[in-house]
A and B are shown apart, each in its own frame.
Chain A
Amino acid sequence: AQSVSQHNHHVILSEAASLELGCNYSYGGTVNLFWYVQYPGQHLQLLLKYFSGDPLVKGIKGFEAEFIKSKFSFNLRKPSVQWSDTAEYFCAVWSNNAGNMLTFGGGTRLMVKP
C-alpha cells in the first residue's frame, strides 16, 4: 500500500536551532511532493512543493526541502527556526498511479521555545 512516513511526531527546539524533519514515501510512478503547515488555529497551507526540476526546492519563510529519489525521501529543513515556526508540519505525496488522492503523513508537531 502507498504510504507516507514522518519520523518525528514531536520536536522541540530553541530559537536559532536548525531544523530537519524527515519524510519517506512508498510509491511507484511519478510523484509530486509537498510540505503543508498548520499554524495554531489556522488552516492547512502549502509550505513548498516539488514536481520536477531542481530537487532542492525553496518555500516560504526560509524553508527548503530536498527530493532524493533513490531514498524516496523529501526532508524539510530550515537553518534557523523562530518561535513563529511553532506549528504542525505535514508531508504529502501525490502519485500518478494513486488516483487523485493526496496522501499525508501523520504530521510532526514542532514547538520552538523563545
Chain B
Amino acid sequence: ETGVTQSPTHLIKTRGQQVTLRCSSQSGHNTVSWYQQALGQGPQFIFQYYREEENGRGNFPPRFSGLQFPNYSSELNVNALELDDSALYLCASSPGTGVAGELFFGEGSRLTVL
C-alpha cells in the first residue's frame, strides 16, 4: 500500500459532460502528479502540483485542469469530455525532496466516456 487514495474508482460519463477526480496524497508528500493511462499504453503526464501551484504540464489541452489543497490533496477536472478521454487516471505523490521521478501511485480512477 502506498497511502495514495483515489476516488471514485470507476465512473461512466457521456460526451460533453464534466468530471472531477480526487486524490489524497501519502502522508508527508507535498507534490502530486496526475497521469492518464489509455488501454494498452504507458502512463502519460498531465500535470504536477507542488504546494498548491501547477509545477509542470504535459501535452494536454486546457480543459484538463487541477487543484491542490493546503493538505496536499488534489483534484483533476476534465471539461467537455470526449470519447478519447476514456482511460485510467493515476495520481501519484512524492515528498519533493527525494529522487526526482520516484513516485508513489494510487490505484487509479477508471473513466469511461460514452
Contacts of B44 in A (CB 8 A): 104
Compute the total of residue contacts between A and B using a CB distance below 8 Å. 66
- A interface residues, how many (CB within 8 angstroms): 26
Q: In the complex, which of the residues A44, A93, A94 contacts B105, with contact meaning CB atoms closer than 8 Å?
A: A44
Q: Give the residue among A34, A45, A99, A100 with the most B Cβ atoms within 10 A.
A: A100
Within 8 A of B (CB), among A64-108: 90, 92-94, 96, 99-107
A46 interface residue, CB < 8 Å from B?
yes
Question: Is B99 in contact with A51, judged by CB distance below 8 angstroms?
Answer: yes
CB proximity of B10 to chain A, nearest CB, Å: 13
Contacts of B56 in A (CB 8 A): 99-101
With A34-B102, A43-B106 known as contacts, the answer to whether A105 contacts B2 (CB < 8 A) is no
Contacts of A94 in B (CB 8 A): 100-101
Question: Is A101 in contact with B58, judged by CB distance below 8 angstroms?
Answer: yes
In the assembly, what is the distance between CA of A94 and CA of B33, in Å?
13
In the assembly, what is the distance between CA of A111 and CA of B28, in Å?
36
Interface positions of A (Cβ within 8 A of B): 4, 6, 32, 34, 36, 42-46, 49, 51, 90, 92-94, 96, 99-107
Interface contacts beyond A34-B102, A99-B57, A100-B100: sample of 5 additional A-B pairs, CB < 8 Å, sorted by A:
A43-B108, A44-B90, A45-B105, A96-B100, A100-B56
Interface positions of B (Cβ within 8 A of A): 2, 4, 33, 35, 40-45, 48, 50, 55-58, 90, 92, 99-108
